[in-house]
Amino acid sequence: MRREVIFDCDPSPDDAVAFLAAIASPEDLDVLAITTAAGNVPVELTSKNARKALELARWTDIPVYAGAASPLVRSLVTAEHVHGRSGFDGYELPEPEMPLQAGFAPSAIVELVMSRPPNTVTLCCTGPLTNVAIALAREPRLATHLAGIVLMGGSMSEGGNITAAAEFNFYVDPDAAARVFLSGAAITMIPLDCTHQALTTEERLQVLRRAATPVGTAFYHLLEWNKRFDRAKYGWPGGPLHDPTVTAYLLAPELFSGRKVRVDIECASPLTLGASVVDWWSVSGKPPNALVLRSLDADAYFRLIFARLLRL
């Protein structure tokens, strides 16, 4: 059965691969909209990058809505040190011609979800969760009306990638992440423990280069440039391709393994702000609130995502 999805994101190349692979899978997924927030770069740039990617793929009928320009209660932290000043450094794409849609992304999320039957729409979240938290505040019924939320964020045993304790998406807006995990929505969480198994080695990236299509060529260069930071930081043969794990899970959940557990987000401690506390062994006595995916078949993941991307 075809699943309706909304991608809520802060587009760097990872996010774009995630939603383009979904758009290229119309037999499985119907992408209703892309909503953007500040995160990797300010929202003006994330909104521009979403449209650049759509125009590259010649798929301009997907509406893009701009959302939150800052976290719920904190100052914005961005990641130009990883993604460059534009968020899409590494390959020059034309300025987008397609317009942003009128309206605020959280309102669009509420309208698109609540105008459809219950358990119809899945939110695919690959950035800070600010837009989702605002949407839940505006319409409390949203959490149980959704089919679910599949998100890339958090960490269990890998530590953090922006601080010693916190993964970037949750660190940028921990208050939003905490509200989402307490909302009662059916959440699937894909943490660094899982995404760090999916490395963009040169051999894997060559699949995009050899395809010699506009999309393949662009994303070969974007990902190769974008993952230099991770290669230098970790000493790995490639950087993790984080965000398309969300799409891959919707297309092929058998590639992943995990369990339902309790997840809480730290919002008070200056030392561990944004950390995801994952009760893997059920010692807290709190009820589970998320399916946390801890491992994936990396080779099958890249075959799936790059094959879908290269359909465009």
- What amino acid positions are annotated as catalytic residues? 242
Query: Containing H/E element for 123?
Result: strand 121-125
Place of tokens 């500040």: 38
What whole-number distance in Å separates Cα of residue 129 and Cα of residue 275?
14
The phi and psi torsions of 140 (rounded to 5 degrees) equal: -60, -25
As separate numbers, helices (DSSP H) first and strands (DSSP E) second, the chain gives 14, 9
**β-strand partners of 292:** 189, 259
The token pair at 245 is: 């794990």
- Helix 174-181 × helix 130-138 angle, to 10°: 50
| Of the candidates 229, 245, 268, 138, the residue with the CA atom closest to the CA atom of residue 197 | 245
